Amino acid sequence: MKKILFFSLLSVLVALVGCKYEVESITLDKESIMMEKGSARQLKAFVKPDKAPQDVLWKSNDITVARVIHPGGIYAVGEGECKIFAYAGDKRAECTIIVYAKPGGDTGHVHPETPSDLKFTINDVTIELPYVEGGYFIMGGTSEQGSDAGENEFPTHKVTLKAFNIMNTEVTQALWKAVMGNNPSYYEFLDDSMPVVSVDWYDCQAFVDSLNKKLASQLNGKKFSLPTEAQWEFAARGGNKTKGYKYAGSNNIDEVGWHPGNSGNTLHRVAQKRPNELGLYDMSGNVYEWCLDWRCVYRAEPQTDPVYMTQESEFVKITRGGSFYFTTRGCRVSSRGGIPPTDDKNDVGLRLVIQ
Query: For residue range 97-110, what is the model confidence (pLDDT) as tens digits?
Result: 988 775 444 333 33
CATH code of residue 142: 3.90.1580.10
CATH of the domain at 43: 2.60.40.1080
Residue 13 located in a structural domain: no
Q: Residue 120 burial (CB < 10 Å; 0-12/13-18/19+)?
A: middle
pTM equals: 0.71
Question: Stretch 40-68: mean pLDDT, rounded?
Answer: 88
Q: Is residue 309 domain-shared with residue 335, that is, in the same domain?
A: yes
Residue pair 245/235 in contact (Cβ under 8 Å)? The answer is no
Q: Looking at the structure, tell me whether residues 195 and 331 fall in a common domain.
A: yes
Q: Is position 107 within any domain?
A: no
Secondary structure percentages of the chain, helix, strand, coil, to 5 = 20, 30, 50
Q: Over the stretch 177-192, which tens digit does the pLDDT of each residue have?
A: 999 999 999 999 999 9
Judgement on whether residues 189 and 255 belong to the same structural domain of the protein: yes
Residue type at position 36: E
Average pLDDT, the chain: 89
C-alpha dihedral (248, 249, 251, 254), degrees to nearest 10: -80
On whether both 130 and 93 belong to a single domain, the answer is no
27-41 pLDDT, tens digit each? 999 888 888 888 888
Percent of the chain exceeding pLDDT 70 equals: 90
Q: List residues bridging with 32 in a β-sheet.
A: 96
145 and 46 in a common domain: no
For residues 141 and 153, is the Cβ–Cβ distance under 8 A?
yes
Alpha-carbon span 264 to 147, nearest angstrom: 26
pLDDT digit string, tens, across residues 248-276: 999 999 999 999 999 999 999 999 999 99
Same-domain pairing of 161 and 235: yes
Residues 91 and 159 in one domain: no
Sign for the CA dihedral angle at 146, 148, 152, 153 comes to negative
In 3-state terms, what secondary structure has residue 125? Answer: strand
Q: Judge if 275 and 188 occupy the same domain.
A: yes
168 and 39, same structural domain?
A: no
Query: Based on the domain organization, do 68 and 168 belong to the same domain?
Result: no
In a domain, 85, yes or no: yes
Range of the domain at 66: 23-100
Give the total number of structural domains in the chain. Answer: 2
Q: Report if residue 110 sits inside a domain.
A: no
Q: Looking at the domain assignment, is residue 113 inside a domain?
A: no
